[in-house]
Structure 1
Amino acid sequence: MKFYIVDDDISVVKVLENIIEYKNLGEVIGYSLSGEEGIKEILAKHPSIVIVDLLMPCKNGIEVVKAVKKIKSDIKFVMISQVSSKDMIAKAYNQGIEFFINKPINIIEVENVINNVKEKVEMHATLNSIKGMFKNLESNDTAASKKSEIAKIKYSLSKLGIIGEIGSKDIINICEYLIVKGDKHLNYKVSEMCKKLSNNPKAMEQRIRRAINKALNNIASLGIEDYMNDDFSTYSNLVFNFEDVKVQMDYIRGKNKSCGKISVKKFIEGLLIQNEIM
């Protein structure tokens, strides 16, 4: 992951550079001590993530974000400042920053924020790759149709934040089996399906359940952050029972000692239903 830093205080630049390199978060490909120079360098070098100070002479951090986002909308921004004004922070978020870090710099906070942004960058790349697959699957033959269906399944799993989980491959295999058979419902016990597709069915079922549990936790976390989010609205009812999502949200908040429950059957059937409406 490539980083660029814009701050008029060289000591802050060096602290951030040391944190990124010491924690193996990525590579700092450059820095600027002014907003105007920063804009030119960012557009020329195209880093994945820019860390920018809010208060700088000539051009402040918000102006830097606005100028770059007009041309390179995919670049992610993290803003740092001692400013505590809610209006200024809200204005920064409105211009497209991902996170706001308060000075003085805290190494743990910086590491956590950067890891979160890196995950967003990687997810965005995955989604773009999958969308690219959709555009290339224009053939009407059976093989192309199946690839398109699987691509949609992968897209949904990426939206649920589990495309990188080992269990997601098992989920895809089950969906592919059902798509080929023309089934829209999982008319088998999960254990029976795993026996059909794996030499180690118990391990396969465990992987699937772990992946779905993580998806439940991701959706519940998304609901806590933004209850009106489109993905939360879609998947909280589609692949889970909404009551279980609410239980999981309370568990994450520390209001409940029990986690929400999952149903492998509902999860897989929900993915197949979503395929039909995408």
Structure 2
Amino acid sequence: MKMYIVEDDDNIINILERIIEDKNLGQIVGKSNDGKKGLEEILLLKPDIVLVDLLMPGMDGISLTRKVKALEPNIQYIMISQVSSKDMIAKAYESGIEYYISKPINAIEVETVIKKVKEKMNMKQKLDTIQSLFSEESNGHEIKSKEKEEIDNYIEGVKQVMRKIGVAGEVGSQDIIDIAKYLIETNQTTSNFTIKELCSRFTDNPKTMEQRIRRTATVGLINLANIGIEDNINEIFVEYSNGLYNFEQVKIEMDYIRGKTKKRGRVNIKKFLDGIVYYGKRL
């Protein structure tokens, strides 16, 4: 995993380098003390992860991230700052920075955050690989190699995720579990189906089932938005706001709750279902 550091304090850079190397967290391919130089080198080196200071001379971390994000959307960002303003951190999240390391630097926090970013990237890579494999095969034949006990464990993991985001008791929770179980048993993703096709496997009224699922997923979105307003570095918020939903939609919902907009956040059901299956298998 290639990493690049943009930080105006050489001592912080040295500390981060030691932690990353000692913990075997990745390979540092470059570093810079100002945003303008960092922008040029990041576009040239194309690292997987950029650790960027929020406040720097020349070009701040938020501006740098926005510029790079427009050209290299797959690069992940970790903000380094001692700024505690929630408004400032919210602006950083809006620019595409999803993870946060506070100053003074703590080795355990650095290791934990970098591992979370790597897990997120691995999840996306696995989902992309699965989708690619099944698009090449004919009609996604069912794969029944998993033992029942393993599948049951995965489904229990799905239920745990639903409890974490506060939707376990919602009317559409069983519908979500049914589809998750089917996807796990057949080793498929939602890319092989329309939502109507998936729901039709369980009911003669797929539209109603889809509406139940959407309402349930929307409750989870609202719950995460409220968590983010209270604490936008909360572990559940950071983990699931971009893993189950589009973070920009979570942010819109946060702004709606704050009274800043009349728009509501929207749910991508396919992303939600694929994400909940992925996290269910991890727990």
Q: TM-score, normalized by length of structure 1?
A: 0.60
Determine which structure has more spread, i.e. the larger CA radius of gyration.
Answer: 1
125, 150, 160: which is aligned to 1:207?
150
Deviations 1:184-229 (A, max 9, x none): xxxxxxxxxxxxx8xxxxxx333222222223323433x25xx7xx
2:163 equivalent to 1:220: yes
Task: Report the Cα offset of residue 52 of structure 1.
Answer: 0.3
| Aligned-pair Cα RMSD in Å | 2.9
Question: Which AA in structure 2 matches 1:210?
Answer: N
Q: 1:89–1:9: structure 2 CA closer, same or farther, 3 Å change rule? A: same
Question: Which AA in structure 2 matches 1:97?
Answer: I
Q: Contact 1:219/1:235 (CA < 8 Å) preserved in 2? A: no
Q: Secondary structure at the match of 1:51?
A: strand
Counterpart-to-counterpart distance in 2, 1:131 and 1:220: 27
Counterpart-to-counterpart distance in 2, 1:234 and 1:95: 35
Q: 1:82–1:13: structure 2 CA closer, same or farther, 3 Å change rule? A: same
Partner residue, 1:65: 65
Partner residue, 1:111: 111
Q: 1:133–1:205: structure 2 CA closer, same or farther, 3 Å change rule? A: closer
Partner residue, 1:183: none
Q: Contact 1:239/1:270 (CA < 8 Å) preserved in 2? A: no
Q: Secondary structure at the match of 2:78?
A: strand
Aligned length: 189
Question: Which AA in structure 1 matches 2:148?
Answer: E
Counterpart-to-counterpart distance in 2, 1:234 and 1:56: 49
Which has the higher relative contact order, 1 or 2, with Cα contacts under 8 A spaced 6 or more apart? 2
Q: 1:238–1:82: structure 2 CA closer, same or farther, 3 Å change rule? A: same
Q: Contact 1:238/1:270 (CA < 8 Å) preserved in 2? A: no
Partner residue, 1:146: 140
2:32 equivalent to 1:32: yes
> Where in structure 2 are there 5+ consecutive unaligned residues?
199-269, 271-283
Partner residue, 1:97: 97
Counterpart-to-counterpart distance in 1, 2:183 and 2:140: 18
Q: 1:112–1:145: structure 2 CA closer, same or farther, 3 Å change rule? A: same
Counterpart-to-counterpart distance in 1, 2:134 and 2:140: 12
Task: Report the Cα offset of residue 101 of structure 1.
Answer: 1.7
Question: Which AA in structure 2 matches 1:268?
Answer: K
Partner residue, 1:238: 175
After TM superposition, list the pairs within 5 Å mapping 1:9-28 onto structure 2: 9-28=9-28
2:144 equivalent to 1:173: yes
